[in-house]
Amino acid sequence: MKILAELFITFAKMGAVTFGGGYAMLPILQREIVENKHWGTDEELADYYAIGQCTPGVIAVNVATFIGRKTAGNLGGVVATLGVVFPSVVIITLLAGVIQAYSSLEWVKHAFAGVRVCVCVLIFNAVIKLFSKAIIDRKTLCLYVLVLAGAVFLNISPVVFVVLAGIAGIMLRR
């Protein structure tokens, strides 16, 4: 029961302070899950993130489900998922009416612009951390360059990239 409460509280705290969606949550997930709680490794988190991108739903919710399940079974997955969405449900419910009334104010627009910049920096920092763990040799560097080029120049679903990169990873390690 203690681990379930800890899962809920940990993910609720992350859900309450994460603005900008699943990508913005990555550095917080990395710090809390890998460094503080030791519920997973950087590699596992990157794997959960990749799988979370190609499964239905919000990435952060999917990752919370994976981590919760790994930590405390199916019930842990449910509890972690509820924890991460609970603050958003409460906050959105409270702000739904207010945001419509004040969204046209200049200071509100500027505040959101500032938050967007902050989210970009958080995402960039998370990418740098993941990059250093993912690129371990020339083969993975080549795979990275190919996927990056494909993502920049082709209009293909991220699911295709994840599946193809997974197949390439299997082939490269054999």
pLDDT at position 96, please? 80
Q: Extract the tokens encoding 155.
A: 């209009």
| 115 lies in the same domain as 152 | no
83 vs 53: which has the higher pLDDT: 83
Give the separation between CA 156 and CA 148, rounded to whole angstroms.
12
- pLDDT 10s digits, 8-23: 999 999 888 776 666 6
pLDDT higher than threshold 70 for residue 140: yes
Range among 9-18, 100-109, 138-147 rated most confident: 138-147
Q: Three-state SS for 95?
A: helix
Amino acid 22: pLDDT: 64
Q: Are residues 145 and 127 in the same domain?
A: no
- One domain for residues 63 and 129: yes
The mean pLDDT of the chain is 87
Range of the domain at 172: 136-174
146 and 106 together in one domain? no
Is the CB of residue 67 less than 8 Å from the CB of residue 60?
Answer: no
Q: With 90 as the cut, is the pLDDT of residue 38 above it? A: yes
Query: What is the chain's alpha carbon radius of gyration, rounded to the nearest angstrom?
Result: 18
Same-domain status, 167 and 123: no
Interhelix angle 106-134/42-53, rounded to 10 degrees, is: 120
Question: What average pLDDT does range 125-143 have in this prediction?
Answer: 86
Dist. CA 52–CA 57, nearest whole Å: 8
**CA pair distance 90, 64, nearest whole angstrom:** 18
Say how many domains are in the chain.
Answer: 2
pLDDT of residue 20: 63
